[in-house]
């Protein structure tokens, strides 16, 4: 009987191991491979020669590696100028997002005033409005202000707050005890001093999350620069790649090399700050 019980227990452990560890990890590994396949193919294509690109069936690894494609890719378009334009937009968007969203979230979480909750719900509701709905109105506003063909239409919205980032920061601020603010009032500090000296230093995790998401959004933005920028010298990298395709015969090895260089900063940011990406997924789960 003991042998039978031991055998059944071992079978249960084996089934639990299969269903709880082996199968989920296998599925996750397959999904990761499928997700990474386009990036792998982009890098491999950027290193292939012209003849090998035409081979059928296509090779999974280049027989001859051509790293010079990367040097040639940055010469077809003013790559570094476009990169500086993208970095300029990213820096100003990150600064605006941190300043505006933290200040607005502080007002919605730490200051009591009539109608606060109702207005907060209205702000959250704006997340359900598609961007194309307000696109024409925004373009008309910036056109009347004569800001078309400048970086202002791409950076000013970051200084007006984002419903998603306001929500994330507000939820984080609700976890900070109000006794901390009360202690600041007792010491004679005003509301802005409490925000700048006491609360803002405690918001570093959520500020990092907002900064990363804002930077990635501004770096990968295609529609905004396509609409507002008309001077080729002001193009960003996302527009530069499309310009590369339209102005030259499509050489896929060079196009993939340029695309790899554009995607590289995003990959580096993710690898360096993946901890904050995970926090960004769970940071709004705190009950308000």
* Domain match, 198 and 273 both: yes
Give pTM, 2 decimals: 0.82
* Domain match, 12 and 90 both: no
- Whole-angstrom distance, CA of residue 199 vs CA of residue 179: 12
Question: Does 53 reside within a domain?
Answer: no
* Domain match, 161 and 32 both: no
Query: Quick one: pLDDT at residue 88?
Result: 95
Residue 261 lies in domain: 68-285
Count the domains in the chain.
2
Question: Does 58 reside within a domain?
Answer: no
Question: Does 197 reside within a domain?
Answer: yes
- Whole-angstrom distance, CA of residue 88 vs CA of residue 194: 31
Q: What is the pLDDT of residues 150-183, one digit of tens each?
A: 999 999 999 998 999 999 899 889 888 888 888 8
* Domain match, 160 and 279 both: yes
Question: What confidence tier does 262 reach under pLDDT thresholds 50, 70, 90?
Answer: confident
- Whole-angstrom distance, CA of residue 100 vs CA of residue 202: 17
* Domain match, 83 and 26 both: no
* Domain match, 25 and 150 both: no
* Domain match, 100 and 31 both: no
Query: Quick one: pLDDT at residue 248?
Result: 56
Could you tell me the CA-to-CA distances from 215 to 179, 192, 208, 250 in Å, in that order? 34, 27, 10, 29
Question: Does 136 reside within a domain?
Answer: yes
Question: What confidence tier does 288 reach under pLDDT thresholds 50, 70, 90?
Answer: very low
Smallest Cα–Cα separation from 205: which of 140, 91, 283? 283
């Amino acid at each position: 009987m003991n042998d039978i019980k031991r055998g059944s227990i071992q079978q249960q452990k084996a089934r639990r191991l299969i269903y709880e560890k082996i199968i989920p990890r296998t599925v996750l590994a397959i999904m990761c491979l499928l997700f990474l396949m386009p990036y792998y193919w982009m890098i491999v294509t950027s290193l292939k020669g012209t003849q090998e690109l035409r081979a059928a069936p296509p090779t999974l690894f280049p027989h001859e590696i051509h790293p010079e494609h990367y040097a040639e890719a940055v010469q077809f378009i003013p790559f570094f100028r476009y990169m500086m334009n993208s970095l300029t937009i990213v820096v100003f968007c990150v600064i605006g997002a941190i300043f505006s969203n933290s200040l607005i979230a502080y007002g919605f979480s730490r200051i009591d005033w009539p109608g606060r909750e109702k207005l907060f719900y209205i702000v959250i509701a704006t997340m359900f409005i598609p961007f194309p709905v307000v696109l024409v109105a925004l373009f008309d506003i910036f056109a009347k202000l004569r800001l078309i063909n400048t970086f202002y239409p791409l950076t000013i919205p970051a200084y007006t707050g984002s419903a998603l980032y306001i929500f994330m920061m507000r939820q984080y601020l609700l976890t900070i005890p109000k006794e901390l603010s009360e202690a600041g009032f007792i010491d004679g500090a005003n509301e802005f001093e409490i925000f700048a000296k006491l609360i803002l230093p405690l918001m570093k995790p959520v500020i990092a999350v907002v900064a990363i998401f804002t930077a990635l959004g501004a770096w990968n933005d295609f529609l905004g620069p396509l609409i507002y920028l008309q001077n080729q010298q002001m193009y960003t990298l996302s527009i530069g790649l499309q310009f590369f395709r339209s102005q030259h015969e499509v050489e896929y090895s060079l196009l993939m090399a340029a695309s790899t260089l554009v995607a590289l900063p995003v990959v580096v940011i993710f690898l360096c700050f993946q901890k904050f990406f995970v926090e960004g997924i769970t940071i709004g789960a705190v009950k308000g």
